[in-house]
Structure formats: C-alpha cells, structure tokens
C-alpha cells in the first residue's frame, strides 16, 4: 500500500518530465528559425524575389507548426492535470482505506493501531515466528538504532503497535536470528502541512481596505480634533479667562495696598499726627494715596474714646536681668530655628541618645510608704502611671535566688562606706540571663527602686543605625547622662542585638564599633562613680567574650523559670490586683502550670478575667482559671468534624485515657477531649504534671516503657475497632513520639539488656540552635546500627502487642469512655477515673493500686 509521501513524489516527477519536454520542443523550434535566417542571409540579390516567396511559405509552415505545438502542449497539460487528479483521487481513496484501519496522530503522522504488544510479548512473538515485518519510527535520517514506537506486522496479516526501549539489544538479536524484515517508517506529512496557507483577506477585501482606509483615517483625525476642541475650549475663551484672572489679581493687590495705606494712616493718627503730616509721609513712601479715604479714617480715629489707662505705656525694658533673660531666650530660639534647616545640627541631634527612659532617683523609704498608703486607699482612684511607679523586691515573685544575689547591688548604693572600708570593689556590670518572660526587666527596676538610684532603661537595638559611628556616639551620650545623674543604674535590654561576637560572616562595622565603645566606657568607670550597668539577654552563648569577662560584667545572674512555690507567689501577686473569689486553689493551679514563665502566668490571669467578664461576673473564679488554662494549652476551638471522624478520634483518646489510668507509672488524667483545637486538632488527653520529673529531666525505664504504651494505645484501638484494612493516618504524630521513646531507651540511654549494645550510648548530645538533639557519630560501626534498629523494632512490636492485650481485656471500659466522649465531647479527670474503675478489668485495677504508690 503506497504511502502519502510516495504519491506526492510521483506527482512531482510527472510534472517535471512534462515541463522538460515542452522546453525542449521550444528550443528546437528556435534553433530551426535561426538556421533558416542564416541561410537567407547568404542568398544572392538576383534571387531575392524567389527567396521572398520561399520565406513566405516557410513562415506559413512555421505558423502551422507553432499552432500544432501549442495544441500539443495544451493536450499534454490536460493529460498532466488528469494524471494529478487521478493521483489525488487515488490518494484520497488510500487515505479513506487507511482511516478505516488506522487512527492517525496529527503531530508526527505515526499510525496508532488498536492492538498493542508489550516488549516481552513482542520478543516472544518474534521467537515463535509470528512476526513478519517490523516498521520502526524515527525522525532522524541517520538513525540506525531501533528505539521508540514501532508497528509490528504479524503473520496473520494483522498489525499491532509496540515500543522498543532505549539501548536494548535483545530485539536486534531476535530479529536477525529469526529472519524478520525490519523497515524504517518515514513520517507522513500531516493535513496542515499539505494544505496551502490561506490569506487573511481576499483580493476584493484587500482592495476595498486600501481604497477606503485613507477616508477612515481622515474621519478619525477629525473626530479627535473635535474632541480636543470641545474638551479644552476655544482659544478666545481661554484668552478672555486669562485676562479676567489678571485683572482680578491686580484689583486684589490694589485693594491690599489701599488697606495697608489706611492702616498706616490710622496708626499715625492715633500717635497724634494731623492729616497733612499723614498725607506727606504716605506720599513719601511712593504708595497711591486716596485723600478722601485717608481723611475719613483720620476723622473716625478722632471720634474714638480716649483710653482710661493713666499709666504711660512702657515701650523699653529697663530691667537688666530681664534683658539678659530675654536675650538668652532669643538666642536659644534662634539656634532651634537655624537647626531646623542645618544638616550639621540635625546630625548632632541624631548622635544623642534621646530614646532612653529615665526615672529619677527617689528615697526608697518614702516611696515604699507612699505605695503602702496607695494600697490602703482602695476606693480612691490615683493617677499613677507605670513609668513613674516604684518597683521593689516585694513586687517581684518567684525568683528568690536571683533577688538574694542582687541584694549586694542594693547594699552598695545604700551603704557604700562599708565596701570602701573593706577595700572591696562593687561589680561594674550585672548580666541577667534566662528564658523569655521570667522577669529580668522587672528585677532590674526592683534593684533601682530598692537602691533609690536613677534608672535609665533602653533597648540595645536603639544604638544601631545605618550610619557608621552613630551607635558609638549614642553610647558615649548615654554614659555621660548616667554619670551626671549618679547614683544611677543603666539597664540595657536584649543586649545580644549589639553584643554579638565581633568579626566573622555575621560581623557588622556599625555594631562592632558600638560594642567597642561600650567596652571602653565600662572600663572607664571609677570605683566611686556610683554607676552600674545591668543587661538582660536570653542568648548568652552568642555574646562577645570581651563583654562578659570580669571587670565589665562581673556577675552573671541566671533567672530561671519559676518553680512550684514561685508560681504560687506569682499567681497571688497578679490575682491580688483583681477581684477574685476565695475558693481559688493556688496549689492545684501551680501544679497544672508547670513550665510556665511569669509572663505566661500574668497572661493566664488576664485571660481568666476576660472569661469572667464574658460570663457577666465581677470577680475571677476557679472555673475561669481552668477555662483560661485549657485555652492557653489547647488553643481556640475549631469547627467540628463529621460523625465518622469524631468516632475515630473518640476511640483514639479513649484508649489513651484508659492506658494512662491503668498504668501505675503514668500520672492521672486531668482532661480528655475530642473537640478540635488549634494546637491539637485531633483531640488531646492531658495528664497531671510531675514536678520533680519535669525539673530534673530524669525518666526511669519503667516510666518510658509505659509512656510508650500510652502513645501506641490510640493506634491499637483503631485496629481493634476498624480492622487492619481500615486504619487511617491519624496516628502519624504519635508514631513519631513512639520512635523517639525507643531511641531514648536504646540509643541515648542504653536501657536495653541486649549484650550487643551493652551499657554504652550510641549517640552524643549536640545543640542545634536553641534545642538539644542526639546525633550518632561516624565512629559507630554499621553492625551496631543494625543491632540498634532491630532492638528498637522489637521494643515497638512488644509494646504494641502488650497494649492491644490491655485494650482487649478492658473493652467494656473502652466502649464506655468512647460513648461518654461522643456524648459530652470533653471529660474531666474524675469522670475518666470513675468510668475506668467501674468497667475495667479487676486484675488491671489491682495491679495499678498495688504499684501506684511507688511512682506517685
């Protein structure tokens, strides 16, 4: 079956052959004519007439021959056209036949057949002798490898499509061995390539466009000019408006000059000048003077009542002290006015530290008495701002050890002679380190309040500017202010923003110069200067060593998170400032807020006050603090899930709460909820915190093993209820926690009896930013890695089997907890405890009661 490309080539060959024959015939006739002419030029003059007759007969013959040749050319052209039409009809018939058998793809022209053979099936058919021909497709003329799509002609006459992978030699060997003919399938031209391009416009449309486009453009220009003329108005109107505006301006200026003349005339009339003298002085100034208007003004002034003030008006100041004072005020005002437009003066003002908050020194005894009096006057509203409020050690709770260390600074300000007699030197700087929100700034204010010193507070980021040298100048200005206001305490908050290690990739010229100036200023303190620098940071590890060496920051006071008693004191301080009920359980609340800073506790009390106000109460109750703690711990509520999702979450949380209640080493449950929250969208089970364990960070092997059971309880419950095939991805986070627990047992803590691992740790602690992680070193052999992985897999499998057995034994308790959660959405610790004791297995309850005392 001939392809479309072959048919087109045949048509081109026929056309070229016919054209060559026509050109050859024309060339022979031209050659005959030129030969006849050369013969005629050689005939003698005597036979001219005979030659003319012969020439006329020859001319007729040539015309006849030309007519015959033209008729032959027309016949040949008709024959060529008929052949082209026949070839086109034949091609259309072939395309129709092929379209009935193949589906053509428009991009490459590759025929796609319905039957397909995989590569393995193609090899098998070749080896069995079922393949007759293989036509492979390629767009490169010099390609000799068989890769990509191909057409396979089978022995039964059917055609299938296959694909030969790149670089596979098996098909080549099979085809050569079994004598299968291989042909290259050239891409056929598509219909878009054969069809001639159609012009955008026809001949008539193009002629019409060329003929009428000038008229259209002229009309468009006319419309544009008409629109501009209508928009801007006529030129004459604009000239008239301009003249009218100029006349109005001249008239207004003339009226202003006339008013000025009349005002001057009135002033001179009040001074006692008569009308001729006034007119003479006004005309001497060159102003236009209206005599009648001036006369009216003078007459009006003469009618005014004389002043009853008998004392003469003082025009000059004869007091020398007031003159000097006024002169100094005038000079100061002139300097300020000049500084507004003077860049040098503006630069000098920028170099000064003007953002520091300065609280002047006060007598601590008087300030304390005033504060106590203010506390007693509860019904009187005193306008006392926080900026001027005195802070003492009694107002700072939860950080007793830090207050004891800072008492030495207070004693230095109150009893400096005792230090001078003993020859001791007071610390020049005190650095307060600790987590955010622990009260470092409040503690510095308390030191200033107890010592009765001037307190200058600022943030270290205020030193740094985009101009190099500004920070150093501000440091000099700050310490100059402190020396002038001594005794004083300079408090620099977040000193790590300017006190970072100098140089390196993170170095900065402006920050380095600022730090250098600060170091030199702290070295320049005398023992009697009565100026102490206090700073606060929570990134001591990045500070420059020259800054925290002895002689600059001599004392480094660590301000930790408040402990159990500290949290009670902080809660009492914040609740005493607000109306609250007497039934608040401080001890239980402090136990639940383990790890909270002072700022978080203050926010908790404020949130409880908000909850009470939303409920319409004027005082804070214990339930308000519980709701605020739940909101702080879990976040705001989110839209509820579907009923199927709620049931899955209820199964997970019920199993977790059941395991926590039955396992002796785990603390009791305080809250179990399936309400979606921002921080815990899949529910949460909260247990009571163990203060000693959280503070020391010590975890026993028994506690970690039972903690692993509680983490895997949700997955085990989902498998028992829904089956292995219907488990969901809801347990991903808990599986990660389980992996961390077994890593701590095997890798970092070596709590495994496996002799291959032994009592040694495989990982070492490494600090990444603010977190501490365990990293396995490269010196650990690969066999130990494999053994540790096997041990962790065994611990996970054993714990998963154990918790499944626990849930199977206590399926009644699990069902009751799920039903209660689906009904109420949230269960308290007492409700969980009651349901478990009512429906749990007796052996698990007895084991818990017998072993629980050893852990709690």
pLDDT for res 460? 81
pLDDT digits (tens, 9 = 90+) for 358-375: 555 555 655 555 555 444
Comparing 135 with 202, which gets the higher pLDDT?
135
Average pLDDT value over all residues in the chain? 76
Cβ proximity of 361 and 454 under 8 Å: yes
Q: Using CA atoms, how far apart are residues 185 and 3, in angstroms rounded to an integer?
A: 10
Instruction: Based on the fold, state whether residues 764 and 819 are members of the same structural domain.
Output: yes
Given a contact cutoff of 8 angstroms between Cβ atoms, the answer to whether 712 and 734 are in contact is: yes
Collapsed DSSP state (helix, strand, coil) of residue 789: helix
* Weakest-pLDDT range from 27-41, 170-184, 304-318, 398-412: 27-41
Q: Is the pLDDT of residue 775 over 70?
A: no
* Res 814: pLDDT: 93
Q: How confident is the model over 686-699, as a mean pLDDT?
A: 75
Predicted local distance difference test score (pLDDT) of residue 25: 40
The pLDDT of 384-406, averaged and rounded, is 67
Residue 50 lies in a domain: no
End-to-end CA distance of the chain: 93
Could you tell me if 388 and 527 lie in one domain?
yes
pLDDT of residue 796: 93
Residues 257 and 385 in one domain: no
For the stretch 644-661, pLDDT in tens is 899 999 999 999 999 999
- Please check the confidence at residue 558 and state whether its pLDDT lies above 70: yes
Give me the number of domains the chain comprises. 6
Look at residue 47 and tell me if it is in a domain.
Answer: no
- Residue 852: pLDDT band (50, 70, 90) is low
- pLDDT on residue 719: 92
How high is the pLDDT of residue 46? 47
- Give the residue among 283, 554, 320, 317 at the shortest CA–CA distance from 425: 554
- CATH of residue 436's domain is 3.40.50.300
Confidence of residue 337 (pLDDT cuts 50, 70, 90): low
Residue for token pair 């006459």: 157
Q: pLDDT per residue over 453-469, tens digit each?
A: 888 888 887 777 655 66
Task: Evaluate whether residue 201 is within a structural domain.
Answer: no
Identified catalytic residue from 494, 592, 653, 706: 653
Residues 655 and 603 in one domain: no
Predicted local confidence at residue 793, as pLDDT: 92
User: Is the model more confident about 804 or about 507?
Assistant: 804
Give the span between the Cα atoms of 491 and 495, in whole angstroms. Answer: 10
Which pLDDT tens digit goes with each residue over 177-204? 888 888 887 665 555 554 555 667 777 8
- Distance between CA atoms of residues 354 and 245, nearest Å: 52
Domain assignment of residue 43, yes or no: no
Position 236 pLDDT exceeds 60: yes
Q: pLDDT grade, residue 352 (50/70/90)? A: low
| Cβ atoms 443, 402 nearer than 8 A | yes
Based on the domain organization, do 736 and 833 belong to the same domain? yes
The answer to whether residues 424 and 543 belong to one domain is yes
Is the per-residue pLDDT at 333 higher than 90? no
506, 474, 470, 502: which is closest to 490 by C-alpha? Answer: 474
The residue among 574, 342, 544, 345 whose CA lies nearest residue 439 is 574
pLDDT higher than threshold 50 for residue 314: no
CATH code of the domain covering residue 151: 3.30.720.210
653 is catalytic: yes
Q: Looking at residues 149-156, what average pLDDT do you find?
A: 86
The DSSP symbol for 202 reads -
> Do 697 and 828 have their domain in common?
yes
Long-range contacts of 13-18 (CB under 8 A, 24+ apart): 14/80, 14/83, 14/84, 14/87, 15/80, 15/84, 18/76, 18/77, 18/79, 18/80
Q: What percent of the chain has pLDDT over 90?
A: 10
pLDDT at 353: 52
Residues 711 and 793 in one domain: yes
Q: If you average pLDDT over residues 309-315, what whole number do you get?
A: 45
pLDDT tens readout for residues 22-61: 344 444 444 444 443 434 444 344 455 666 677 667 777 7
Q: What is the pLDDT of residues 720-765, one digit of tens each?
A: 999 989 989 888 889 999 998 998 888 888 888 887 777 777 776 6
Average of per-residue pLDDT across 343-359: 55
Q: Which residue's structure tokens are 């053979």?
A: 117
Residue 320 lies in a domain: no
> Is 271 strand, coil or helix?
coil
Say which residue, 186 or 247, is predicted with more confidence: 247
Q: Are residues 770 and 842 in the same domain?
A: yes
Q: Which of 523, 543, 560 is the last residue of a domain?
A: 560
* Spatial distance between the Cα atoms of 92 and 194, rounded to a whole number of angstroms: 13
Residue 713: predicted pLDDT: 93
SS3 760: coil
Q: For residue 18, name the pLDDT band (cuts at 50, 70, 90).
A: very low
Asked, for residue 15, whether it belongs to a domain, the answer is yes
Q: pLDDT: is 835 or 387 the higher one?
A: 835
User: Which range among 45-59, 117-131, 167-181, 274-288 shows the weakest confidence by mean pLDDT?
Assistant: 45-59
User: Based on the domain organization, do 693 and 799 belong to the same domain?
Assistant: yes
Same domain? 654 vs 618: no
Mean pLDDT (whole number) for 815-834: 91
Domain boundary among 262, 279, 302: 302
Domain finish residue from 193, 225, 253? 193
Reported confidence tier of residue 99, pLDDT bands at 50, 70, 90: very low
Question: Same domain for 763 and 796?
Answer: yes
Max mean pLDDT range (375-379, 395-399, 633-637, 660-664): 660-664
What pLDDT shows up at residue 777? 66
Q: 111-115, 126-130, 278-282, 352-356: which has the minimum mean pLDDT?
A: 352-356
**Residue 308 forms part of a structural domain:** no
- Is residue 342 one of the residues assigned to a domain? no
Domain that holds residue 85: 4-34+55-101
Q: State the pLDDT at residue 653.
A: 92
pLDDT of residue 321 exceeding 50, the answer is: yes
């Amino acid at each position: 079956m001939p392809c479309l490309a072959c048919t087109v080539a045949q048509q081109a060959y026929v056309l070229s052959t016919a054209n060559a024959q026509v050109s050859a015939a024309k060339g022979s006739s031209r050659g005959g004519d030129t030969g006849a002419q050369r013969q005629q030029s050689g005939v003698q003059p005597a036979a001219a007439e005979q030659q003319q007759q012969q020439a006329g007969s020859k001319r007729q013959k040539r015309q006849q021959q030309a007519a015959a040749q033209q008729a032959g050319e027309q016949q040949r052209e008709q024959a060529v056209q008929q052949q082209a039409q026949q070839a086109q009809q034949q091609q259309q018939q072939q395309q129709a036949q092929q379209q009935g058998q193949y589906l053509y793809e428009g991009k490459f022209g590759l025929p796609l057949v319905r039957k397909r053979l995989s590569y393995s099936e193609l090899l098998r058919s070749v080896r069995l002798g079922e393949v007759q021909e293989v036509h492979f497709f390629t767009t490169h003329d010099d390609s000799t490898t068989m890769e990509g799509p191909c057409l396979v002609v089978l022995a039964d006459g059917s055609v299938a499509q296959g694909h030969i992978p790149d670089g596979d030699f098996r098909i080549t060997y099979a085809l050569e061995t079994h004598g299968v003919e291989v042909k290259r399938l050239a891409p056929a031209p598509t219909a878009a390539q054969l069809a001639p391009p159609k012009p955008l416009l026809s001949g008539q449309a193009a002629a019409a466009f060329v003929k009428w486009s000038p008229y259209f453009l002229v009309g468009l220009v006319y419309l544009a000019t008409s629109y501009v003329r209508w928009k801007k108005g006529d030129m004459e109107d604009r000239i008239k408006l301009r003249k009218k505006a100029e006349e109005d301006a001249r008239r207004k200026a003339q009226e202003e000059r006339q008013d000025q003349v009349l005002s001057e005339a009135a002033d001179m009339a009040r001074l006692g000048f008569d009308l001729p003298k006034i007119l003479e002085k006004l005309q001497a100034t060159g102003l236009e003077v209206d005599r009648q208007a001036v006369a009216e003004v003078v007459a009006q002034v003469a009618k005014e009542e004389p002043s009853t003030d008998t004392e003469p008006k003082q025009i000059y100041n004869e007091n020398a002290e007031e003159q000097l004072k006024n002169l100094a005020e005038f000079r100061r005002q002139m300097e300020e006015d000049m500084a507004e437009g003077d860049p040098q003066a503006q630069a000098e003002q920028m170099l000064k530290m003007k953002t520091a908050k300065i609280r002047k020194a006060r007598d601590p005894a008087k300030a304390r008495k005033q504060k106590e009096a203010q506390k007693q006057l509860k019904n009187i509203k005193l306008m006392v701002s926080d900026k001027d409020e005195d802070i003492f050690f009694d107002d700072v709770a939860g950080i007793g050890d830090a207050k004891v260390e800072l008492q030495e600074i207070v004693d230095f300000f109150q009893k400096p002679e005792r230090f001078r007699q003993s020859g001791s030197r007071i610390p020049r700087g005190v650095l307060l380190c600790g987590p955010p929100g622990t009260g470092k700034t409040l503690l510095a204010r308390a030191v200033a309040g107890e010592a009765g010193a001037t307190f200058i507070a600022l943030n270290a980021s205020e030193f740094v500017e985009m101009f190099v040298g500004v920070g150093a100048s501000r440091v000099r200005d700050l310490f100059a202010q402190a020396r002038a206001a001594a005794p004083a305490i300079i408090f620099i908050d977040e000193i790590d923003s300017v006190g970072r290690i100098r140089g390196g990739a993170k170095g900065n010229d402006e920050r380095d110069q600022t730090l250098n100036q600060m170091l030199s200023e702290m070295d320049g303190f005398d023992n009697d200067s009565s100026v102490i620098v206090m700073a606060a940071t929570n990134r001591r590890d990045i500070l420059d060593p020259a800054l925290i060496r002895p002689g600059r920051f001599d004392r480094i006071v660590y301000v930790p998170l408040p402990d159990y008693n500290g949290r009670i004191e902080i809660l009492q301080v914040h609740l005493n400032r607000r109306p609250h009920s007497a039934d608040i359980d401080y001890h239980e609340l402090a136990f639940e807020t383990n790890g909270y800073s002072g700022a978080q506790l203050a926010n908790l009390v404020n949130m409880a006050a908000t909850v009470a106000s939303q409920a319409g109460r004027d005082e804070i109750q214990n339930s308000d603090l519980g709701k605020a703690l739940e909101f702080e711990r879990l976040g705001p509520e989110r839209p509820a899930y579907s009923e199927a999702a709620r049931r899955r979450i209820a199964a997970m949380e019920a199993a977790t709460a059941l395991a926590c209640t039955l396992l002796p080493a785990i603390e009791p449950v305080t809250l179990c909820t399936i309400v979606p929250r921002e921080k815990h969208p899949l529910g949460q089970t909260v247990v009571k915190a163990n203060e000693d364990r959280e503070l020391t960070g010590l975890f026993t092997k028994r506690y970690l093993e039972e903690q692993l059971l509680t983490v895997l309880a949700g997955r085990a419950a989902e498998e028992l209820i829904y089956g292995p095939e219907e488990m969901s991805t809801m347990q991903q986070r808990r599986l990660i926690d389980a992996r961390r627990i077994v890593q701590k047992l095997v890798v970092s803590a070596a709590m495994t009896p496996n002799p291959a691992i032994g009592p040694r740790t495989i990982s070492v602690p490494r600090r990444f930013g603010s977190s501490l992680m365990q990293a396995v070193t490269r010196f650990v052999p690969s066999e130990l890695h494999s053994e540790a992985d096997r041990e962790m897999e065994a611990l996970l499998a054993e714990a998963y089997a154990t918790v499944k057995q626990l849930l199977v034994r206590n399926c009644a308790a699990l069902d009751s907890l799920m039903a209660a959660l689906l009904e109420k959405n949230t269960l308290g610790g007492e409700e969980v405890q009651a349901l478990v004791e009512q429906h749990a297995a007796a052996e698990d309850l007895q084991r818990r009661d017998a072993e629980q005392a050893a852990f709690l």
